[in-house]
Each structure stands twice: as C-alpha cells, then as structure tokens.
Amino acid sequence: MFKSLIKILSTFFYVGYLPLIPGTFGSMAGIGLFYLIRANPIVLVSFTVILIVIGFFVSGKTEQITQKKDPSCVVIDEVCGMLLSLLFIPYDIKLVIAAFFLFRILDTLKPFPIGRLERLKGGLGIMCDDLVAGIYTNIILQIVLRFTSFKTS
C-alpha cells in the first residue's frame, strides 16, 4: 500500500509512465493543475508548497525503491517546477505557453546552478533542479511583464 502511494504520487498519477518524454508530460500535467486551481492564489500557493514537500519525500523514496538515480518515471518534480513557473503570473495562454517552453529549455540545458543541483542525493537532487528551473522561468517572465508592453487578454 505504501509503495503504491509513493508510485502514484511520484509519477503524478502515472503520467511518468507515458512513453518517450515523461518530463514534458509532467510539465503539461503541471499546467493542467495550474489551470484547475489558478482562480484562488492562496490555494495555488498553498497547493504548490504542499506538493513540493510531498515531492521531496516521494521522489527520494522512489529512487530508493527503483535503485535508479533520478528515475525517468518520477515527474512530480516537473509538475512542481511548472507550478513555480506560473506563480504570480497573470493567466494568459501566451504566457502559459511561454512558461512551458522556457521551463523545458531550462530544465534540459540546466544553466548554473541547475546542473549541480541535479547531483545532490535522493529527493533533493530530483526536485531542486526543476524547482530552480521553475524559479528562473518565473523571474524571466516577471521581467518580461515589467519591462515590456505585454498586455494580457
């Protein structure tokens, strides 16, 4: 029972088992979750924080169970990173799409210190690189919003 719950949560309800690009599917799941809870900022922030805490625990446990470093089926990290990317960003489909692509690029290229964070052991290594990619994405979008004439629709 406990292992099943760990698997369900770390793979974000089995999204991590989708073929070829589980991290991208995990990011898309994060957008879906954002869409469902975006109306209430307090719920969005609270849920994001709770999911991050859960993610640290279950991703590390899944690594222990599978005995693989950062197993590809674990996508709760991408879900959390995507949620961080979209926190305090006005809801506009153009911004959501920009956040998605920017997050995926940063998560793939791993600019400093993201690549180093990935080397941490257990849940820290699995979660921290995606969380920082999400924070970088959010900062970039905040700058774009502050210093351009971008208008949300």
pLDDT in tens, 24-40: 999 999 999 999 999 89
CA distance 22 to 36: 21
Res. 57: pLDDT tops 80: yes
Residue 153, pLDDT > 80, answer no
pLDDT of residue 66: 87
**C-alpha span between 13 and 89 (Å, rounded):** 26
Its pTM surpasses 0.85: yes
Domain-wise residue ranges, the chain: 21-147
C-alpha distance across the termini of the chain, in Å? 46
Kindly report which listed range (7-11, 77-81, 106-110, 114-118) carries the lowest average pLDDT score: 114-118
What's the confidence (pLDDT) of residue 152?
63
Percentage of the chain with pLDDT > 70?
Answer: 97
Q: How many CB atoms lie within 10 A of CB 92?
A: 14
